[in-house]
Structure 1
Amino acid sequence: MRSDSSNEYVVGLTADGADATGATMFGDIGLHRLEEAGISWVLLPDIPGHGPADPAALAGVDAVISFGHIPFDAELVRAAPRLRHVARFGAGYDGIDPVALAREGVVLTNTPAAVRKPLALSGLTLLLACAHRLIANHRVTVGGRWASERGAHRGIGVDGRTVGILGFGSVGSELAQMLAPLGVTVIANTRSGRSARAAELGIEVVDRHTLAARSDFVVVAAALTPENRGMLDEAFFAAMKPSAYFINIARGGLVNQPALAAALDAGVIAGAALDVYEPEPPAPDDPLFAMDNVICTPHALCWTADFTRDVSASVIDAVITVSRNQIPATALGREALDESTWRGAGGPGGD
């Protein structure tokens, strides 16, 4: 819905996930709820590459629903004084510093609770596909090799195996609970070297090298930061078992991708399953795509009907809340928001 009224609250949809009709790559996200709340929406101009938005495009909007990973920094929002809210459709906020935005009076929200279960299920799906060599057996069947190769691709199963979860936030801990009935031992690695949630679940927290060496399956569920970019490198893969599988559902930037490809090609590890890459989209001739021991999905494995339902509800709730000059529970960096800088007319928590 569009409106030219400067008095109306207007939300901009990023063109990397929506079109002029309000249709999105996730399906119906409930824009009618905005309209029912008296909030207009517009489609923002397309942004080439992975660059920041044009401040001029933000001049007429109070909030942005960002479907991809468009960067927002203090300089950008300073040049768009009407903007008060950036709402990420998902949990990640790569390229956005929530504290920097908060200091400029702009709220950043995301949807971690809505993403937690679908993303953890994605990790479990890829783990089980590796454990049962699902893709290899699929190829045998459809390739007419039933008689010659029916038993040639036996999986390793999961009973008695060790799963190392790298990053033990909400997704990692959810995955650990899903794995609990399957007879596996779960170990974890965290940035701080400790985790209250892991302690509650009775899960051992180990250093990264130990996790690599002990795990039959490594599942990456960590957030990407400038400090940990490329941390999963040649040394990490060399520490893994030759029979182990590497699974990444977090961010491609955590991995030195050429090192992973080399490890897979040389048999240093048994296989991998990847939903994320660096860069995205990956090049069509990426060597990982030619490997029979790699499962690749397009950073969309968790995009299920319940994902769309729950993330949409969380995003729209946040937009409506901020439009009413209130700070939603999903706000990031809220400790840096100050009544003197908050762009909401009523101040933080105002009416």
Structure 2
Amino acid sequence: MSRLIVTDYTFPTLEVEQRRLTPLGIAVEGVKAGERAELLAKLPTADFVLTQFAKLDAEAIDRMEKARVIVRYGIGVDNVDLEAAKRRGIPVCNVPDYCIDEVADHTLALVLSATRRVVENANFVSGGKWGLPVPVTDMRCLKSMTVGVVGFGRIGREVASRLSNFKCRLLVSDPAAKAADVEEAGCELTSLENLLVNSDLVTLHCPAIPATRHLINFDTLDAMKPGAILVNVARGNIVDTSAMYEALKSGKLGFAALDVFDPEPPAPDHPALALKNVILHSHIASASDEAVLKLRSDAAAIVALCNEGQPLPNIVNGVTGPARFAAMAVS
């Protein structure tokens, strides 16, 4: 039998993957999260690799003597060394079209929590008090705000669509976006610099690539409006955590609503956790029963295609056909 090594997973079992792949003669074997030594020992025998959060760096990929594909459970592939996989001739695929609505919905939840201070108000009443727990100036109305959307891919577009119903001004920064598409969505395409200067709230939806690492840093935070709000459901390393902490502590940044952090998870004594102007969730914006099932089913389907020698979808590292197995193409 061929072997699929699942590097790590947060699901109760691998039943979904086994149900799809075992009839094809593919044994599905999982590795406990964080068991690096076990993972490195098993990778040489893997015909296929499925990964969630485990770090597949050059050391790990160089152990893949037989691997025909690496599939990422999710959209981002920042835990995989794409260049190392390319050198080995191993295509890396992602699942880009799941959880779009979940993440867009969660973004709106964080936006509304930050502007209407939902958490503070609920906790105030739960604590036996009544009234307004924050200054009235912290209670914001989206209609009177300018919101900057950084990244206009699938999720960014859905976020903009939802925000348009709140009648706020919408600015978009994305070097790949077409002005006509942005205008059709009721938004204004602009530079990142102009977006930061003019936005009351900035929401991040760009991929984690070298060009976006610490996109939000001391300089870009300094360019933002005093008291602006930052929302991040993309990746933690898009934001320089130290810079964000200092801006929040000083009040330069008024509020941060985050589903991601750098590092994850933060240390229990991380000073950002003690700030009152921060909401932090545990990277759960994509979660729903439907989204998880689609993610797992689609990831397993890519493995099945590779097993059958079929063209693969969503190749993100430019590998189109190692000679040692059937030709593959980017969809």
* TM-score (norm. length: structure 1): 0.84
The answer for unaligned runs of 5 or more in structure 1 is: 1-7
Q: Residues 90, 256 of structure 1: CA spacing in aligned structure 2 closer, same or farther, 3 A cutoff?
A: same
Q: Note the 1:3-42 alignment, pairs <5 A.
A: 8-15=1-8, 17=10, 23=13, 29-42=16-29
Q: For residue 332 of structure 1, what is the amino acid of its counterpart?
A: V
* Identity among equivalent pairs (%): 26
Deviation digits for residues 63-102 of structure 1 (CA, Å, limit 9, x no counterpart): 11101142244x6445422111111111111143446524
1:311 to 295, 304, 308: 295
Residues 158 and 183 in structure 1, CA contact (< 8 A), matched pair in contact too? yes
2:42 corresponding residue in structure 1: 57
State the alpha-carbon separation in 2 of the partners of residues 205 and 151 from structure 1. 34
SS in 2 for 1:57: helix
SS in 2 for 1:331: coil
Residues 33 and 54 in structure 2, CA contact (< 8 A), matched pair in contact too? no
Q: Residues 227, 103 of structure 1: CA spacing in aligned structure 2 closer, same or farther, 3 A cutoff?
A: same
1:347 corresponding residue in structure 2: 327
Residues 34 and 40 in structure 1, CA contact (< 8 A), matched pair in contact too? yes
Residues 17 and 28 in structure 2, CA contact (< 8 A), matched pair in contact too? no
Residues 173 and 197 in structure 1, CA contact (< 8 A), matched pair in contact too? no
Deviation digits for residues 314-347 of structure 1 (CA, Å, limit 9, x no counterpart): 111111111111122222234x323xx2443x33
SS in 2 for 1:112: coil
Deviation digits for residues 164-205 of structure 1 (CA, Å, limit 9, x no counterpart): 111222221221122222212211112458566425435322
State the alpha-carbon separation in 1 of the partners of residues 240 and 86 from structure 2. 32
Q: Residues 262, 190 of structure 1: CA spacing in aligned structure 2 closer, same or farther, 3 A cutoff?
A: same
Q: For residue 111 of structure 2, what is the amino acid of its counterpart?
A: L
Larger mean CA deviation between 245-254 and 231-240 belongs to 231-240
- RMSD after superposition: 2.6
* TM-score (norm. length: structure 2): 0.89
Off by >6 Å, runs of 4+ in structure 1: none
Q: Residues 253, 178 of structure 1: CA spacing in aligned structure 2 closer, same or farther, 3 A cutoff?
A: same
State the alpha-carbon separation in 1 of the partners of residues 21 and 176 from structure 2. 40
1:70 corresponding residue in structure 2: 55
State the alpha-carbon separation in 2 of the partners of residues 204 and 313 from structure 1. 37
Deviation at 1:264, TM superposition (A): 1.1
Q: Residues 150, 275 of structure 1: CA spacing in aligned structure 2 closer, same or farther, 3 A cutoff?
A: closer
State the alpha-carbon separation in 1 of the partners of residues 52 and 182 from structure 2. 31
Deviation at 1:257, TM superposition (A): 1.1
SS in 1 for 2:327: coil
SS in 1 for 2:74: coil
Which structure is higher in helix share?
Answer: 2
Deviation digits for residues 141-170 of structure 1 (CA, Å, limit 9, x no counterpart): 111111x54785662121132211112222
Deviation at 1:48, TM superposition (A): 5.1
Q: For residue 39 of structure 1, what is the amino acid of its counterpart?
A: I
1:245 corresponding residue in structure 2: 229
State the alpha-carbon separation in 1 of the partners of residues 49 and 80 from structure 2. 13
2:216 to 232, 252, 258: 232
What is the number of residues matched between the two proteins?
Answer: 328
| 1:44 and 2:31 correspond | yes
State the alpha-carbon separation in 2 of the partners of residues 52 and 72 from structure 1. 15
